[in-house]
Structure 1
């Protein structure tokens, strides 16, 4: 009988050890949550409606409208919208060109997880065109962008 209990104990321990711990589903990023938010002032009543309408306005050459919608979407927490708004602000499309504001928007995008925002902020530091020229800061931001999947950043770092 003792051998039976030992065998059952070993089998039970073996089962317990072979089970994989339950994996937690990754939490959705802030941008995904923001896009799903309701906003009665946006097309379709959602932040995503504003985001989509902003790209459509930009495509049609309606830059002031694109700026307005990207601003609303950026303020709602959509990092990619902050980067896109930064591009428009940098280029002076639909709004007065403002390199310092563009940099602030790029950093907001970067901090929100948008690799393209990190790339843009890194280029600002590399060139000194919209932020203090600093190769160290540029490299740090470009590495972050590269790690986030921005191929332009990887190329700027020599293919890291």
Structure 2
């Protein structure tokens, strides 16, 4: 499972690099489908991952306002800082945690930790597909979604 998180982080970083060639107006432009803009989609991916990881750890959710992160560099810095905490948590993951149930403040019900971490993987992959469509619309080559040849299993 950690390999898929690593994959997502690699692809995310490649998207940050690719987006450096996109004018800020295009990054902020509201688009059809998805969460709105390219920049907000990147922010949304981070926010969802961080909120759920904190929830799994029994930590309170921290509300970050997108309005405070209106540049690619700011969103990238957020990604880098949160990845350290998430990686540290996942490095200590064991299969015993898969069926442990938690509750979070923003939803009703009890959720298995394993279900949540797998949702986070799928959630990011889903949004990366949206970014690929939008990139093509503005004439940018999308980041490869290929897991093979990324060095994850060396």
**TM-score between the two structures when normalised by the length of structure 1:** 0.28
Structure with higher RCO (Cα < 8 A, 6+ apart)? 2
Determine which structure has more spread, i.e. the larger CA radius of gyration.
1
Question: Per residue, is there more helix in 1 or in 2?
Answer: 1
